Amino acid sequence: MSAKLPTNKKTRVLIVDDHPMIREGLTSLLGTQADMEVCGEAGTAAQALALIPASKPAIMIVDITLPGKSGLELVKDIAVMHPEVATLVVSMHDESVYAERVLRAGARGYIMKKEGGKRILEAIRKVAAGDVAVSEKMSAQILRIFSGHPSGEEADSPIRQLTDREFEVFELIGRGFTTVQMAGELHISAKTVEVHRAHIKEKLQIKSGTELIAYAARWAKSSENG
């Protein structure tokens, strides 16, 4: 559940992103709004969790890709440890790829960074009001899934078997990232990437690395077109 503040108070927002320039940009954007205030910034999940008790945010803006623990894992932690705090994921990743997982993790919305400041502000206000913030394009799909009536393709997709971290690795494979590049992007070791790759192949019943790359690339292309 999202936190609702009295109308005469500003919505307190904690920003979690590993890029200082993104945090600064969001802080400047929210600083122009009479009904919002930034109560803290964090570059990692651990820092964010440590800040919550003192900063008392109503909403946390969370990026997916964070050092160590991912944004998806952070959203789950917040839902369990601080259910009074609502989370809004603001990420560069396509919403068709991550929105469902983010909402299942406990977030109240998903906005792509490329949508710009106006949409982010609208999303914050929707979440603060207790609503879910996703694009119109995603609303119907999300409703089908959460009502227990996903389309045949959505229900049968083996990708749904993957854990959130495995899914992140799978997506990066589809985008053509090497093991070293994935390790850098996800802030984990190359060895850990290989472990996730092995688990992905097992769950998807894929035998070779070449077959996995081809499968992930086809999936990535279909996601972009869908």
The reported pLDDT for the residue numbered 94 is: 77
* 31, 101, 49, 130 alpha-carbon torsion, rounded to 10°: 50
pTM value? 0.76
157-225 is a CATH 1.10.10.10 domain: yes
CATH class of 11-146: alpha beta
- Which residues on neighbouring strands pair with residue 111, listed in sequence order? 90
Q: Compute CA distances 83 → 7, 22, 55, 103, whole Å.
A: 21, 26, 15, 14
pLDDT tens digits for 99-153? 888 888 999 999 988 888 999 999 999 999 999 998 777 776 666 655 554 544 4
Strand 109-112 to 59-62 pairing: unpaired
Ranges of residues in the chain with a pLDDT under 70 are 1-8, 140-157, 223-226
Which H/E stretch holds residue 37? Answer: strand 36-42
Residue span(s) of the chain under CATH 3.40.50.2300 come to 11-146
Contact assessment for residue 98 and residue 89, using Cβ atoms and an 8 Å cutoff: yes
Residue span(s) of the chain under CATH 1.10.10.10 come to 157-225
The reported pLDDT for the residue numbered 173 is: 93
The reported pLDDT for the residue numbered 143 is: 64
Q: Work out the number of other CB atoms within 10 angstroms of the CB of residue 199.
A: 16
The reported pLDDT for the residue numbered 144 is: 61
- Which residues on neighbouring strands pair with residue 60, listed in sequence order? 14, 87
Give the Cα separation of 121 and 129 in Å (integer).
Answer: 12
